[in-house]
Amino acid sequence: MSFVGQNWIKDQFGSDSKELVSNPTEGNSLSNNMTLKTQMGLVNIAMPEGVGMATVNVNNNYISEVERNYDIKQQAGYLEIPLLLRYKIIDRRLGFLVLGGINTNVLMSNNVSLIDNNQVIANGKIEGLNPLTFSSSVGMGINYAITNRFHFSIEPTMKIQLNSLNKETNYDSRPYAVGIYTGISYQF
């Protein structure tokens, strides 16, 4: 596919799990939206005013002249509210602990950008994102007592999504994250 007047073409269908669902030039002529199917769900992108989209057949001779690869950046921002339990296995100056818990995630932002050479061409949203999701946290930690009240800790933790980010049954996006959390704590 390419964008009429701009000679833009999207990367190959399926190579990055993106597939064109609807063409804005078909149907309602007042709408200038492009819909793509991605792993996170349907993405609706509002194309710039006056820019249409045309499908290009890969057997055409002119495809190499108009082919351009673009990036799609999807951002679903969630505010995480953790409920964690820590159990000290060794409670000395240098202590070891295990941790686990449940996190409630509240949707705060939903953005999709079509990018070419670090420039945003068009913006949109991911359809059907859950406004509230849950994830689990599992990890271990090392705790060093600087004084009786101040402690330094390092906690490698893995977070796994318990329910899909998208409420549509066709999309089962359950990302995970691995991180190392550090900090200094004060005990009363």
Confidence of residue 19 (pLDDT cuts 50, 70, 90): low
Per-residue pLDDT at 117 exceeds 70: yes
23-38 pLDDT per residue, tens: 544 444 445 777 878 7
d(CA 98, CA 88): 7
d(CA 40, CA 47): 20
- Region of residue 58 (left: phi > 0; alpha: psi -120 to 50; beta: else): alpha
Report the range of poorest mean pLDDT among 96-100, 124-128, 165-169: 165-169
d(CA 33, CA 57): 21
65-105 pLDDT per residue, tens: 455 677 788 888 999 999 999 999 998 999 999 999 999 99
Residue 133, CA atoms < 13 Å, CB-side half-sphere: 27
Report the range of poorest mean pLDDT among 44-48, 72-76, 148-152: 44-48
Per-residue pLDDT at 162 exceeds 90: yes
d(CA 58, CA 69): 14
Per-residue pLDDT at 52 exceeds 60: no
Backbone angles phi, psi at 66, to 5 degrees: -110, 0
Q: Which residues pair with 88 in a beta bridge?
A: 97
d(CA 130, CA 5): 37
